[in-house]
Amino acid sequence: MTFVNEYAALLESKRSDIVAWMAKKRSEVPIPIYGSVDIRDAGWKVSVVDANHFPAGFNNIGEEEKPVTAELLKTHIQREFPNCSWVHLYPESHTRNTGYVENLIALKELLEIAGFRCTVGSVDFEDLGHLNGISGPMKLDTVTQIEVDGKEVMQIDGRTPDLILLNNDLTDGLVEGLGSQMVSPPPSMGWHRRRKSQHYEALQEYVDEMAEMLDVDSWHLMAEWFVSKDKCLDKEACRIELAAEVNQFLDNLRIKYQSLGIDREPVAFIKNDRGTYGLGIMTVTNGEQLLKLSNRKMKKLMYSKGGVDVENFLIQEGIPTVLKNEQGAPVEPVVYLVDGQASSWFYRINSKKSDIDNLNSPSAQFESFSQSGGQYGEHAHSWHALVAELSMLAMGKELLSYGNE
């Protein structure tokens, strides 16, 4: 069954309707300045499986895609923050992660192409210095906090930037000084507050509307999922309850697969409901596997950045990837979006994993769209862009639900 190919002509025939629908929906929610999504394409289903509001892989996009990405950044900032000329990039504290530093270098370049002055630094870096990226060192600017009218204000070399662009997911909590300045994305979208399940709740509504417009089953455009709450997995009773929930989930998937002629055993991904950099994820084919976890695997499943306790788990349908490179390694698209629009792609490739595994591991390699995107087909490219842009609408709806926190 090849839903992506069979319905390609339908998708293109509805292009003008989709563009008009997207414009209307974007007018109803605050559009994120940027974001990224991981996509799984099984041929019979294409879906966003992870959505990041603080993307950290701009160094993986191709040179050909930089102009359009920079232009979208310019459009968003000029619309949302008029008269902004200076953007300060507030990063994570991954001083030893050369790949992440390279992401900062690339993002700074994009902002400068867009015509903005860009400085980089955080309160975690007390002294003026450098971070080392793959291509070399990156200069950091001195960040201080002063009190103005009773509020903490972040300054760089004694001056206040027009806009602080967060590239920090705030898992460890809010940063002092950000609340009294122009900040994007909003701090309320950090992982100290946000949950993956909230994103999928919002996304489901948009997917259902789009599926109705296309007259297709929305099941083909979204992974099945549910949240298992208040699970103290260090206790046997919690593991038994979770195992039963997973078995029921897999049984339901098995029935759906059989009805569609999909010759595949269903798989469930168990994830921390908060962001974990792709860590804290387990793949199971039956609930009993949860009852036989070693201490090492239990600790891995319960891992959370910042040491935050994990109690809520997102159980998500595992979608195999039909995409492979010339050597047969599994591939998944990662779409980068600016101002709600798919602006650039790259592909995560992992020769040490199977087509159903989590590919986000140290053995992963990355290729830009200009390097290898053409081999995966224009039809797939269109579907990937569609579900990715629906995800950005869902992020906007998430933010509305948080109010003025």
Q: What is the pTM assigned to this prediction?
A: 0.92
Alpha carbon distance 317, 260 (integer Å):
16
Q: How much is the average pLDDT of 155-164?
A: 92
Q: What is the rounded average pLDDT for all residues in the chain?
A: 88
Structure confidence at residue 194 (pLDDT): 85
Alpha carbon distance 257, 250 (integer Å):
10
Task: Delineate the domains of the chain, giving CATH numbers in brackets.
Answer: 3-56+194-402 (no CATH), 58-189 (3.40.50.11280)
Q: How much is the average pLDDT of 45-55?
A: 94
Token couple for 190: 């950090």
Token couple for 90: 């507030």
* pLDDT greater than 90 at residue 128: no
339-371 tens-digit pLDDT:
999 999 999 999 999 999 999 888 999 998 888
Residues 141-150: contacts with CB under 8 Å, at least 24 apart:
141/88, 143/88, 145/176, 145/177, 148/180
Token couple for 258: 């059989």
Alpha carbon distance 166, 223 (integer Å):
29
pLDDT band at 126 (very low <50, low <70, confident <90, very high): low
pLDDT band at 404 (very low <50, low <70, confident <90, very high): very low
257-284 tens-digit pLDDT:
999 999 999 999 998 887 655 556 888 9
Residue 311 CA from chain centroid, whole number: 21
Structure confidence at residue 140 (pLDDT): 86
Residues of the chain with pLDDT > 90, as a percent, come to 60
Instruction: Name the maximum alpha-carbon separation found in the chain.
Output: 66
